């Protein structure tokens, strides 16, 4: 665990993650420079959120707003770019040139976290899978069917940064993190159980190339240990293509039962099943799952494989899945209006995700009336050809 006492740390980007990191570092004795391109008058709320710090701790925080002057690096021990800050930013590039170490809130959290950690990444499905794993674990704790864990924490790229809850965590807790490529690219310590759901083109407005994006995702496997578990989507070429990078044990999820000796989740005779490496056991019928679409079934399979690796009982998986209706903005039915079903899928910010949503309406019963699908996002330099052909 890093000793932050009297270290000078530059935090670039003072949104949710940056604020949590700045608070944590100051509370642990670091001198923190909170830096953002926004002018000071637009950051009053951010500054006010740290107003509860004691006078001594608050005196360790300096604010530099409106620009990213390179002079900030003079005497700096660490630079911490927040997730939305590209590594091509001149301030970050100069830090790299000077040999100043880069880190981020996820890395700082994992270095200090006392309990078992699960990390879930992929181009799509991260939030749904992370949320479901959290719910399965919570059911296990609440029903006392798993006495290993005292409390479940869910965060990372969703919800409140777990760094702000670190002081409350204990060795017998469980932390479930959603991890984006932005977080992974700077990490040097991985999670105990890592899952890569899928890898398709995404965030190419942030990463210089698909190879760079893939390298960031690969990082979650490269820095694991022999005692860790890696879980891969067997049906996704991008995720399965990283199987050679697995250092510890490997588990799988997909349509087919994993090979002998490999644990994981799969579909058999319209049942969602688990394999202990040799024989299958049934979890629940696919028809009883409330979420629509094969892509959501893949997310549920992944959640079961992850839960199995964490030692969570099948009864908790079944109960949580039966009650799970998804997360907001993800293929969420809004209303029947003017003869059409309206669905909010505004989290679908890549063509592949919109295509997956469209394919989830392929059954004849879905074609009784028109469907309006609300997608979201911005141009991320991704190919649109296949989506355009599907729509037309």
Q: CA-CA distance, 334 to 376, in Å (whole number)? A: 15
Which is more confident, 23 or 293?
23
What's the pLDDT score for residue 365? 47
What's the pLDDT score for residue 311? 97
Q: CA-CA distance, 304 to 292, in Å (whole number)? A: 17
What's the pLDDT score for residue 162? 95
Q: Is the pLDDT of residue 97 over 80?
A: yes
Angle at CA 3, nearest 5°, toward 90 and 34? 35
Q: Which is nearest to 156 in space by CA: 123, 213, 111, 110?
A: 110
Task: Please check whether residue 176 is in contact with residue 153, taking contact to mean a CB–CB distance below 8 angstroms.
Answer: yes
Q: Is the pLDDT of residue 306 over 60?
A: yes
Give the confidence band of 367 by pLDDT, cuts at 50, 70, 90. low
What's the pLDDT score for residue 389? 77
Mark residue 293 as left, alpha or beta (left: phi above 0; alpha: psi -120 to 50; beta: remaining): left
What's the pLDDT score for residue 380? 62
Residue 166 DSSP code: G
Please compute the mean of the pLDDT values over residues 71-88 and round it to a whole number. Answer: 94
What's the pLDDT score for residue 12? 98
Please compute the mean of the pLDDT values over residues 83-105 and round it to a whole number. Answer: 95
Q: CA-CA distance, 252 to 275, in Å (whole number)? A: 10
Q: Is the pLDDT of residue 69 over 90?
A: yes
pLDDT tens digits along 313-364: 999 999 999 999 887 777 777 878 888 878 888 777 777 767 767 776 765 5
Q: CA-CA distance, 254 to 242, in Å (whole number)? A: 15
Looking at the DSSP bridge assignments, the partners of residue 81 are 12
Q: Which is nearest to 148 in space by CA: 172, 116, 169?
A: 172
Q: CA-CA distance, 315 to 283, in Å (whole number)? A: 8
Task: Please check whether residue 88 is in contact with residue 68, taking contact to mean a CB–CB distance below 8 angstroms.
Answer: no
Tokens read off for 119 = 């990390």
Task: Please check whether residue 344 is in contact with residue 332, taking contact to mean a CB–CB distance below 8 angstroms.
Answer: yes
Q: CA-CA distance, 370 to 332, in Å (whole number)? A: 16
Task: Please check whether residue 14 is in contact with residue 153, taking contact to mean a CB–CB distance below 8 angstroms.
Answer: no
Task: Please check whether residue 83 is in contact with residue 16, taking contact to mean a CB–CB distance below 8 angstroms.
Answer: no
Complete DSSP assignment for 320-362: HHHH----TTSSEEEEEETTEEEEE-TT--SHHHHHHHHHTT-
What's the pLDDT score for residue 363? 57
Structural domains in the chain, sorted by start: 8-103 (3.40.50.720), 107-323 (3.40.1190.10), 332-391 (no CATH)
145-154, 297-306, 374-383: range with lowest mean pLDDT: 374-383
What's the pLDDT score for residue 204? 47
Q: CA-CA distance, 255 to 268, in Å (whole number)? A: 8
Please compute the mean of the pLDDT values over residues 54-72 and round it to a whole number. Answer: 96
142-146, 182-186, 323-327, 357-361: range with lowest mean pLDDT: 357-361
Strands 271-275, 280-285: pairing is antiparallel
Question: Mean pLDDT score of the chain, rounded to an integer?
Answer: 90
């Amino acid at each position: 665990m890093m000793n932050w006492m009297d270290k000078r740390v530059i935090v670039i980007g003072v949104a949710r993650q940056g604020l949590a990191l700045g608070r944590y570092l100051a509370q642990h004795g670091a001198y923190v420079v909170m830096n953002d391109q926004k002018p000071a008058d637009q950051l009053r709320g951010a500054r006010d959120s740290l107003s509860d710090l004691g006078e001594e701790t608050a005196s360790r925080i300096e604010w530099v707003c409106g620009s990213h002057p390179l002079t900030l690096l003079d005497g700096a021990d660490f630079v911490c770019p927040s997730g939305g800050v590209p590594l091509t930013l001149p301030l970050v590039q100069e830090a790299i040139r000077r040999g100043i170490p880069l880190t981020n809130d996820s890395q700082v959290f994992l270095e200090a976290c006392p309990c078992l950690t699960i990390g879930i990444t992929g181009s799509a499905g991260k939030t749904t899978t992370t949320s479901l794993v959290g719910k399965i674990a919570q059911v296990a704790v609440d029903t006392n069917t798993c006495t290993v864990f005292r409390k479940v924490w869910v965060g990372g790229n969703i919800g409140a940064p777990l760094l702000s809850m670190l002081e409350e965590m204990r060795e017998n807790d469980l932390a479930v993190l959603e991890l984006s490529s932005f977080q992974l690219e700077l990490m040097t310590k991985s999670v105990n159980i890592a899952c890569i759901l899928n890898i398709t083109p995404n965030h190419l407005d942030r990463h210089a190339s698909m190879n760079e994006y893939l390298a960031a995702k690969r990082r979650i496997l490269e820095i694991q240990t022999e005692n860790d578990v890696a879980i891969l989507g067997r049906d996704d070429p991008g995720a399965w293509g990283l199987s050679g990078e697995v250092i510890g044990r490997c588990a799988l999820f997909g349509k087919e039962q994993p090979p002998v000796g490999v644990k994981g989740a799969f579909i058999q005779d319209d049942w969602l099943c688990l394999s202990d490496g040799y024989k299958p056991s049934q979890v629940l019928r696919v028809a009883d799952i409330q979420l629509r679409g094969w892509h959501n079934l893949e997310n549920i399979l992944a959640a079961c494989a992850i839960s199995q690796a964490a030692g969570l009982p099948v009864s908790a998986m079944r109960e949580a899945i039966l009650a799970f209706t998804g997360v907001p903005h993800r293929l969420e039915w809004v209303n029947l209006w003017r003869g059409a079903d309206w669905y909010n899928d505004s989290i679908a910010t890549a063509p592949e995700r919109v295509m997956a949503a469209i394919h989830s309406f392929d059954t004849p019963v879905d074609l009784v009336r028109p469907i309006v699908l609300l997608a979201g996002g911005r141009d991320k330099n991704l190919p649109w050809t296949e989506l355009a052909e599907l729509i037309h």
